[in-house]
Amino acid sequence: MNFSCTRRRFLQAGLIGLGMVGLPGLVRIGSAQEVRLGYVRPAPAVFYSVLANGNIRCELCPRQCEIMDGDRGECGVRENRGGKYVTLAYGNPCAVHIDPIEKKPLFHVLPGTGSYSLATAGCNLHCKFCQNWEISQARPEETHNFALSPEAIVQAAQKTGCPSIAHTYVEPMIFYEYMRDIARLSQTAGILNVCHTAAYINPKPLEELCPLLQAACVDLKGFTDTFYRDLVGATLAPVLEALKILRRQGVHLEIVNLVIPQYNDNPKDLAAMCTWIRDELGPLTPLHFSRFYPLYKMKQHYPTPLSTLEKAREIALQQGLRYVYLGNVPQHPAESTYCHNCQQLLIPRRGYQVGEIKIKNGACGYCGAAIPGIWSKNREKGEGPRKEA
């Protein structure tokens, strides 16, 4: 098998985050190269109301935090300053990488390309298994941050040849204003705007963001309120509603489910989740089952057995889903993409390496069936799978 894309290009970018000061590939704009501990530049926040007592009610996510003067919401980045609501995440990324788009994971979006990826500190969830907890559970003044405007991010993506910008690593909805402004500029520049999100956001802000968003990889962390309450500190219903909004708005959608033994691997729950995805989002919606490794507050737990992942995939296929992948299992056949119609191999993968792609003009190179996804930078909204597919 001839793999034409290697990891070398992506690894050259390195890590930019806590304690890392190199910023390979970024455009040099004044002092933007300088990493500063606790760099914070407040900017006006959106989606809130001022209450009669002077408190602010945040209306960005389902938590609806009521915030007293001088305090912040659950996410740690949005603050009430004398009755004015500000975000401390705008232009303050603490992590900037060039990642393979497959790392998001987005398997049906410009395969084999680099995605200019960024995150700020903070998150509105508190997952006990978070792999990026050092920044997601921190506040902006606790991380090493870069002064990078939306213009600087877009220029950097252009200079490094990345056809997409990804908002990722933490919950990107907490830096909503920053993501929105980057997305507006990236559209003008002909760059796709994608995100990896847990979709814990209210309908109105999500609907306003959708026209600027070409693809979303959504963590559907489990399919019971018990799982969301005990391990995530949230609720399930708002996530399901957000998924339906993304589908209705024509955003290309892929779903990730991190399978944690004894917590969300019950076959009945997995079957119910897959049935819901099939009925509400469509059977061609890509679903990734990802392997859990002990991290953060679950270091004493054990990794997901391969057999559990393979059983989850079997359940998904039995429920009628057609694109079901396994993640964190390098060189497994379920990393690759096969046509849902003729079963021919369309995109061979080995980790982040991508082989010869057999998709032409969005269709299978063998039988001509339309393959859901974004296969060129010129893709228009609405080309993805419809619910009845």
Per DSSP, the residues of 15-64 read --STT----TT----GGGG-EEET----EE--SEEE-TTS-EEE-SSTT-
Nearest one of 322, 220, 341, 203 to 273, comparing CA atoms: 220
Q: What is the pLDDT at residue 34?
A: 73
Pairwise CA distance, residues 7 & 384, whole Å: 28
- Give the per-residue pLDDT at 25: 35
287-291 and 252-259: which strand pairing?
A: parallel
Kind of pairing between the strands at 114-119 and 164-167 = parallel
Q: What is the pLDDT of residue 11?
A: 32
DSSP state at residue 176: H
What confidence score (pLDDT) does residue 237 get? 98
What pLDDT does 33 receive? 54
Q: Which domains does the chain have, with CATH numbers?
A: 3-28+91-364 (3.20.20.70), 42-87 (no CATH)
Interval 247-262: pLDDT, tens: 999 999 999 999 999 9
d(CA 174, CA 121): 9
Question: Which residues have a Cβ under 8 Å from the Cβ of 61 and sit 6 or more positions away?
Answer: 75, 124, 173, 174, 200, 201, 202, 238
Rounded to whole angstroms, how far apart are CA atoms 162 and 164?
5
CA dist 195 and 109 (Å) reads 12
Say what the pLDDT of residue 80 is: 98
User: What pLDDT, in 10s, does the model give residues 216-246?
Assistant: 999 999 999 999 999 999 999 999 999 999 9
pLDDT tens per residue across span 38-90: 988 899 999 999 999 999 999 999 999 999 999 999 999 999 999 999 999 99
**Ranges of residues in the chain whose predicted pLDDT is under 70:** 1-33, 378-389
Q: What is the pLDDT of residue 224?
A: 98
